Amino acid sequence: MIVFIARRLVISFFVLLAATFIIYVLTAFAGDPLEDLRQDNSPQKLTKIAERSERMQLDVPVVLRYLGWLGRIVRGDLGVNRDGQALAPILSDALSATLQLVLAATVLAITVGIVIGIISALRQYSGFDYTVTFAAFICFSLPLFWVAVMLKQYVAIEFNNWLKDPVIPPVVIGALALLGGLIFGALTVGDRRRRLVAFAVGLVVSGALFTILSVTRWFADPGLGTPLILAFGLATAVGFTALAAGLQYRGPLYAALAAAVIGAICSQVLGPVLADPTWLEIGGLLLLTIAVCLGLGYALGGLQRRQAMTAATLTGVFTGAMVFLDRMLQAFAGFSASVRHRPVSTIGARTPNYQGDFWQTGLDSAGHLLLPTLALILISLATYTRFSRASMLEVMNQDYVRTARAKGLPERTVVLKHAFRNGLIPVTTMMAFDLAGVIGGAVVTENVFGWRGMGFMFTKGLQEVDPGPVMAFFIVTGTAVVVFNMIADILYAYLDPRIRLS
């Protein structure tokens, strides 16, 4: 395994090296870096030209310039742009914003895409499947920048206006209820009567939900509160237990329910700790949650110890996330007031000079990330959905899935243990490809939303025919692609023992 990784690393290194050469040379030949100065009519025109030519070493052949750049990079020096500004500080500013965007989009697209893809495969030829397929095709065909501009106009501006007085008009409630009913109906398999019942249930539940949200003006000062956290926690406990162990034995169910109850209690008890935590403390709490839940599963699981530990941990982490979300929502009213009631932002990666506690700064970056991420994940989401659906359909037809059924395993085990893991294998190879696409998308998205991130650095550098910033951008993204490739390879090997052992 280590040899495998090492070999991949060496190959990747040379691949990356070759790629830097290509990008450097192509950028250098992409146009005339002195174009703007040639049209300059000021008296210092010639001095400026000479100065920039000197700085960019325009008299030196491109290959030598590249070697010079390479030499500096090896020593950790990113160099300067054509105006003489050092690139390292510019890059470090740009880096975090873009990384947040790319990572959030990728992780969301992978998880949501795989889940939708699998449900769609398991419900092949259902209304849900057809809808997802059609939506995926739409997403494949949407120009990213167009979507981004639309989101900016309709979601950000209109939504912010609406938040000032968050009453949902009856027509919208009706539409949302109808949508809820359709989703319920499409997800149900069975005869027409069952689907109609599911539709009615969905209609009533979502209608009631949105009416309550509207009447209580929940959106003006949102929050969940301990009772809701407990209710959601218990529901997820049952759900995760049904998935991980089935409901016929008690042990795993008790463990998961206990995890949910403890989580809900913690939302009260942990008040002082959660007032203004740091990310480190949040991480510590997460680890603590996992440890406690594993213990619960071990103690209460009985003969189904493994399944109980899984169910309890998933429930615990989910309940923890709810507590986190609750805190964040409670901070919303204050945050919204502090940004003049425009929480969904359309420009930049953060509000300049914003001061606030942990939750408020969190909301601030969430408000800025919301739209770019939404725009950015559409295409990846469609890709992952289609790919995992196809992969899952293929796997469900394999002989070993038939064998698993012939053993009398419950469908849950057949899908989760036998089909899912095999279905994931081809999806991992997709990940590295997709990341390159997301990075390209980030360039466009940053442009629309006016982020001064890496994408901006790249487009500006390219417009100015300045290899410095372009290469700084590429070093980071190229490395990210290589690292992601690596992770995908390792994941592949982990999932498929045939690779692992050879």
Partner 1 sequence: MTTPPNVPIEPRKGDVHTYDIPSTILDSAGDVHVGLQRDAVRPPSEDEILRVQDLTVEFPTEDGVVHAVRGVSYSLREREVLGIVGESGSGKSVSSMAVMGLLPKSARIKGQILFRGDDMLKMSPRKQRSLRGRKIAMIFQDPMTALNPVHTVGDQLAEAVLAHELMPRKTALARAKEMLDLVGIPQAEARLRSYPHEFSGGMRQRAMIAMAVINNPDVIIADEPTTALDVTVQAQILEKLLEVKDAVNAAIVLITHDLGVIAGMAHRVLVMYAGRPVEIGETDPVFEEPRMPYTAGLLGSIPSLENSGSRLRPIKGTPPSLINLPTGCPFSPRCPLADEVCRTAEPELAETDGGGHFAACHHWDRLAAVEDPTVFFRTESETKA
Partner 2 sequence: MTLSADTQAPDGAVEQGMTIVARTQAQMVRRRFFRHRAALAGMIVFGLVLVLAFSSIGFAGIPGWWDQSYITTGALVNQGKPTLSLSPFSIGDHPFGQDDIGVDYFAKTMRGVQQSIIVAFLVGIVATLVGAIVGAVAGYYRGRVEAVLMRVTDVMITIPVLVIAAVLGRRFGDAGVVPLGIVLGLTIWPTMARLLRGEFLSLREKEFVEAARAVGTPARRIIFRHILPNTIGVIVVSATLATANAVLLESALSFLGLGVQAPDTSLGQLINEYRTAFSTRPWLFWWPGIFIIAIALSINFIGDGLRDAFDPRQTRVRA
Compute φ and ψ for 86, nearest 5 degrees. Answer: -65, 140
List of residues 6+ apart from 26 with CB closer than 8 A: none
Least distance between partner 1 and beta carbon 130 (Å): 17
- 286 or 401: CB nearest partner 1: 401
Q: Does 52 bind partner 2 (CB under 8 A)?
A: no
Least distance between partner 2 and beta carbon 129 (Å): 14
259: burial class by Cβ within 10 Å (0-12, 13-18, 19+)?
Answer: buried
Least distance between partner 1 and beta carbon 162 (Å): 45
Question: Are 451 and 372 spatial neighbours (Cβ–Cβ below 8 Å)?
Answer: yes
Token reading at 102: 């790319």
Least distance between partner 2 and beta carbon 357 (Å): 35
Least distance between partner 2 and beta carbon 438 (Å): 8
Q: Which amino acid is at 19?
A: A
Q: Does 11 bind partner 2 (CB under 8 A)?
A: yes
Number of residues that bind partner 2 (CB under 8 A): 54
- 104 or 443: CB nearest partner 2: 443
- 2 or 406: CB nearest partner 1: 406
Q: What kind and span of H or E run contains 454?
A: helix 454-463
- 257 or 439: CB nearest partner 2: 439
Token reading at 32: 């005339």
Question: Which of partner 1, partner 2, none does residue 156 bind to, with CB < 5 to 8 Å depending on kind?
Answer: none
Stretch that binds partner 2, among 57-65, 179-187, 272-280, 428-436 (CB under 8 A): 428-436
CB under 8 A, 24+ apart: contacts of 124-131: 124/393, 126/186, 126/187, 126/189, 127/182, 127/185, 127/186, 128/183, 128/186, 128/187, 129/389, 131/186
Question: Which of partner 1, partner 2, none does residue 179 bind to, with CB < 5 to 8 Å depending on kind?
Answer: none
Q: Which of 113, 115, 137, 133 is nearest to 125 (CA)?
A: 133
Q: Which amino acid is at 332?
A: F
Q: Which spans of this chain sit near partner 1 (rule: CB under 8 A)?
A: 249, 303-304, 306, 398-400, 402-410, 413, 417-418, 421-422, 425, 495-498, 501
- Cα 500 to Cα 75, 87, 291, 398, 491: the distances in Å are 36, 41, 29, 22, 10
DSSP string, 139-174: HHHS-HHHHHHHIIIIIIIIHHHHHTS-PPPHHHHH
Least distance between partner 2 and beta carbon 391 (Å): 7
300: burial class by Cβ within 10 Å (0-12, 13-18, 19+)?
Answer: buried
Question: How far is Cα 13 from Cα 18, in angstroms, rounded to an integer?
Answer: 9
Of residues 132 through 171, those in contact with partner 2 by CB under 8 A are: 137-138, 140-146, 149, 153
Question: Which of partner 2, partner 1, none does residue 284 bind to, with CB < 5 to 8 Å depending on kind?
Answer: none
Question: Which of partner 2, partner 1, none does residue 61 bind to, with CB < 5 to 8 Å depending on kind?
Answer: none
Least distance between partner 1 and beta carbon 125 (Å): 10
Q: Which one of 439, 457, 472, 476 is in contact with partner 2 (CB under 8 A)?
A: 439
Q: Which one of 18, 115, 208, 291 is in contact with partner 2 (CB under 8 A)?
A: 18
Question: Which of partner 1, partner 2, none does residue 497 bind to, with CB < 5 to 8 Å depending on kind?
Answer: partner 1
- 267 or 477: CB nearest partner 2: 477
Question: Which of partner 2, partner 1, none does residue 465 bind to, with CB < 5 to 8 Å depending on kind?
Answer: partner 2
The DSSP 8-state label assigned to residue 86 in this structure reads B
Question: How far is Cα 466 from Cα 264, in angstroms, rounded to an integer?
Answer: 55
- 341 or 417: CB nearest partner 1: 417
Q: Which of 241, 286, 281 is nearest to 263 (CA)?
A: 286
Q: Does 203 bind partner 2 (CB under 8 A)?
A: no
Q: Does 437 bind partner 2 (CB under 8 A)?
A: yes
Alpha helices in 348-409 (DSSP H): 358-396, 399-406
Site string for partner 2, 441-480 (x = CB under 8 A): x-xx--x----------xx--xx-x----x--xx--xx--
Least distance between partner 2 and beta carbon 164 (Å): 19
Of residues 367 through 406, those in contact with partner 2 by CB under 8 A are: 383, 386-387, 390-391, 393-394
Compute φ and ψ for 123, nearest 5 degrees. Answer: -110, 45
The neighbour count for residue 85, using CB atoms within 10 Å, is 12
Question: How far is Cα 59 from Cα 25, in angstroms, rounded to an integer?
Answer: 15
Question: How far is Cα 166 from Cα 420, in angstroms, rounded to an integer?
Answer: 41
Q: What kind and span of H or E run contains 84?
A: none
Least distance between partner 1 and beta carbon 377 (Å): 29
CA atoms within 13 A on the CB side of 37: 18
Q: Which one of 231, 440, 495, 496 is in contact with partner 2 (CB under 8 A)?
A: 440
Q: Does 334 bind partner 2 (CB under 8 A)?
A: no
Please report, as ranges, the residues that interact with partner 2 according to CB under 8 A: 11, 14-16, 18-19, 22-23, 26-27, 29-31, 137-138, 140-146, 149, 153, 383, 386-387, 390-391, 393-394, 429-430, 433, 436-437, 439-441, 443-444, 447, 458-459, 462-463, 465, 470, 473-474, 477-478, 481-482
